Amino acid sequence: MNTSKVNRFKTINKTTLAKAYGVPIRTLKLWLDPIEKEIGEYLGKSFNPKQVAIIVTILGEPEHIEMITIQ
């Protein structure tokens, strides 16, 4: 039996994502700039769940994963 949990991500803004990673928004922007093509366009001042999943895959799981996942 597979007991690993699959995270389902929320639609979130950059501020929430920065808080989840425990970094200032300026640092988050520096991390996201090089992977902008993989993430896609930041529309409506938020990242959609698919974009959040890509970010987490590339940057790793944030310190406060509960802030960006559906419980």
Is residue 71 within 8 Å of residue 30, measured between CB atoms?
no
Q: pLDDT for 2-52, tens place per residue?
A: 444 667 999 999 999 999 999 999 999 999 999 999 999 888 899 999 999
pLDDT at 6: 67
* Domain contains 24: yes
Range of the domain at 18: 14-67
CA distance 26 to 53: 21
Count of alpha carbons within 13 Å of 65, Cβ hemisphere only?
Answer: 12
Domain tally, the chain: 1
Cα 50 to chain centroid, rounded: 9
52 found inside a domain? yes
Q: Is residue 59 part of a domain?
A: yes
